[in-house]
């Protein structure tokens, strides 16, 4: 029995070993796939970030012109122009400097980064403010309105962009495309330009919302830089005075905790606001699907701060019971403690019935007018046809009175002249022949000769090839 069981146990052991080997190889593969520590240039990364912190000289002018280009792009609502401005802007330098300096306890770099960050914001606001002071550039375009309030997705973009940027910078061979892409994705410039627009137009709501969006992007990019610097174990700055080093480390940790706590608080608030707006929109969609007509739909009607939703109803007035039933359904949408404000006018059913009757009457009149138009068109076509036939008839007629006067003047012996159209057939063909009957005075000599001359003259005068002149 022992010999029989031994092969089975060996087979199980072999299977377990194979599974462990596969799992080990898989973990090794995933580790090598996602490991960013092997190709990190810590010294070079620190130098690159410090070199790009300064906002003076050439960098300051590049910033001013890039802000000007971005402001123009927002004014003409051109994403392509805004993207071009973001590609050339040097906004990332001081923000990365803040995250790096906190991560390596470099208080001097932190001061320098914060000062240059303030200079950067000041230059940007001043440039966009001056541009939007010009009256012809003060229109509210969709590109401007899109940057007046942050969204929870902006947080994820800033975190992802910051992580991608610092990882790309930390490589021995930097990826320029990645750095440019992060500059576009995180979109630091448009909020600053929109804030300048808010100052120029006196709209403090736009200014506050745009600066809030810029602050969120800045904080989370710096936070992402701090996290990667700590993860990659960048060398901490050494101080000769150990007490000073300890104070600086404590200060840096304190700042990092404040920034991190503030970031979590901002993210949580934005998440709750976005969740509230989505739930409110689902409620509004369901109300509309139930047959209730809503007008004046505006984002301002969904108020997260006041925890209220305002609906303006038109059409049939909804009953108090219906209104209460919708209020009772609010918890089903996650809108507990939310106040549903329904505004509606008087019942306008009679008015809408009259409008419908007028619409039906208008449609009937249009049909009658259309029918009359067709009848008039048919008559006009008939008149045109008759006119054409009449014209052809007149074209074939001979001006007999004029011809008779001319004949009498030419031929003194002509007593009378008559004219008719004679239809002739030989049973093979049918033709119409012009026939003149001429009567001559008895005293006229050579009446036959005169008749021939009359016939020839009539052919020439009337331009006829076939013509008969008979003597009465």
Span 211-224, pLDDT tens digits: 888 888 888 888 88
Q: Residue 362 and residue 163: Cα distance in Å, rounded? A: 65
Q: What is the pLDDT of residue 84?
A: 81
Q: Which two tokens stand for residue 325?
A: 């039933």
> How would you class 45 by CB atoms within 10 Å of its CB: exposed for 0-12, middle for 13-18, buried for 19 or more?
buried
Q: What is the pLDDT of residue 128?
A: 92
Sequence-separated (6 or more) residues with CB below 8 Å from residue 160: 185
Judging by DSSP bridges, how do beta strands 467-471 and 430-440 pair with one another? parallel
Q: Residue 153 and residue 163: Cα distance in Å, rounded? A: 15
Q: What average pLDDT does the structure give for the chain?
A: 78
Parse the chain into domains and list their residue ranges: 42-237, 276-344, 355-396, 400-471
Higher pLDDT, 228 or 171: 228
Q: Which two tokens stand for residue 160?
A: 């992802």
End-to-end C-alpha distance for the chain, whole angstroms: 153
Over residues 91-123, the pLDDT tens digits come to 788 888 888 888 887 878 888 888 999 999 999
Q: What is the pLDDT of residue 1?
A: 46
Helix (H/G/I), strand (E/B), else coil: 447: helix
Over residues 226-258, the pLDDT tens digits come to 888 888 888 877 766 666 666 766 666 676 677
Higher pLDDT, 459 or 252: 459
User: 367 falls in which pLDDT band (50, 70, 90)?
Assistant: confident
Q: What is the pLDDT of residue 130?
A: 93
Sequence-separated (6 or more) residues with CB below 8 Å from residue 165: 92, 96, 178, 179, 182, 186, 221, 224, 225
Sequence-separated (6 or more) residues with CB below 8 Å from residue 407: 414, 417, 454, 457, 458
Q: Please enumerate, as own/partner, the contacts of 211-217 that have beta carbons within 8 Å and a separation of 24 or more.
A: 212/149, 212/150, 213/147, 213/149, 213/150, 213/154, 214/121, 214/188, 216/150, 216/154, 216/155, 216/158, 216/266, 216/270, 217/154, 217/157, 217/158, 217/186, 217/187, 217/188, 217/191
Say whether pLDDT at 45 is over 60: yes
User: Residues 149, 153, 156, 161: what is their CA dihedral angle, to the nearest 10 degrees?
Assistant: -70
Q: Which two tokens stand for residue 311?
A: 């609906």
Q: 42-237 adopts what CATH topology?
A: Glycerol uptake facilitator protein (1.20.1080)
> How would you class 458 by CB atoms within 10 Å of its CB: exposed for 0-12, middle for 13-18, buried for 19 or more?
buried
Q: Which stretch of DSSP H or E encloses residue 419?
A: strand 414-425
Instruction: Say what the pTM is.
Output: 0.56
Q: What is the pLDDT of residue 172?
A: 62
Q: What is the pLDDT of residue 174?
A: 56
Poorest-pLDDT segment among 43-47, 62-66, 85-89, 343-347? 343-347
Query: In 219-307, which ranges are E strands?
Result: 293-295, 302-303
CATH top class, domain 400-471: alpha beta
């Amino acid at each position: 029995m022992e010999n029989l069981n031994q092969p089975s146990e060996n087979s199980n052991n072999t299977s377990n070993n194979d599974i462990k080997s596969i799992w080990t190889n898989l973990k090794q593969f995933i580790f090598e796939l996602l490991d960013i520590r092997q190709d990190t240039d810590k010294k070079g990364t620190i130098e690159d970030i410090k070199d790009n912190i300064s906002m003076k000289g050439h960098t300051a002018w590049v910033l001013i012109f890039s802000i000007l280009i971005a402001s123009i792009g927002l004014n003409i609502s051109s994403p392509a122009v805004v993207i071009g401005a973001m590609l050339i802007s040097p906004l990332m330098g001081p923000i990365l400097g803040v995250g790096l300096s906190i991560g390596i306890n470099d208080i001097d770099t932190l001061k320098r980064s914060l000062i240059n960050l303030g200079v950067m914001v000041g230059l940007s606001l001043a440039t966009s403010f001056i541009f939007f002071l010009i009256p012809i550039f003060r229109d509210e375009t969709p590109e401007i309105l899109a940057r007046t309030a942050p969204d929870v997705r902006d947080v994820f973009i800033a975190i992802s962009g910051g992580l991608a940027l610092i990882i790309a910078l930390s490589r021995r061979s930097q990826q320029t495309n990645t750095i440019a892409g992060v500059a576009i994705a995180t979109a630091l410039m448009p909020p600053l330009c929109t804030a300048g627009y808010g100052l120029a137009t006196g709209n403090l709501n736009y200014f506050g919302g745009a600066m809030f969006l810029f602050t969120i992007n800045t904080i989370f990019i710096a936070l992402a830089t701090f996290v990667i610097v700590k993860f990659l174990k960048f060398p901490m700055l050494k101080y000769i005075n150990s007490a000073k080093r300890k104070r600086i480390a404590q200060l840096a940790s304190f700042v990092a905790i404040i920034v991190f706590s503030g970031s979590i608080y901002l993210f949580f608030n934005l998440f709750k606001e976005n969740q509230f707006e989505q739930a409110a929109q689902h409620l509004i969609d369901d109300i509309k699907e139930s047959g209730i007509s809503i007008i004046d739909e505006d984002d301002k009607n969904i108020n997260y701060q006041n925890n209220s939703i305002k609906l303006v109803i038109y059409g049939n007035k909804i009953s108090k019971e219906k209104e209460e039933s919708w209020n009772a359904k609010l918890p089903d949408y996650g809108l507990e403690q939310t106040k549903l404000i329904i505004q509606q006018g008087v019942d306008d059913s009679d008015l809408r019935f009259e409008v419908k009757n007028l619409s039906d009457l208008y449609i009937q009149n249009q049909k009658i007018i259309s029918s009359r138009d067709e009848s008039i068109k048919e008559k006009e076509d008939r008149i045109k046809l008759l006119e054409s036939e009449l014209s052809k008839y007149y074209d074939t007629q001979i001006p007999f009175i004029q011809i008779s006067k001319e004949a009498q003047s030419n031929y003194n012996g002509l007593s009378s002249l008559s004219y008719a159209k004679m239809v002739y057939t030989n049973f093979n063909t049918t033709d119409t022949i012009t026939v003149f009957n001429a009567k001559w005075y008895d005293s006229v000599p050579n009446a036959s000769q005169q008749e021939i001359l009359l016939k020839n003259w009539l052919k020439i005068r009337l331009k006829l090839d076939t013509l008969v002149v008979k003597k009465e």
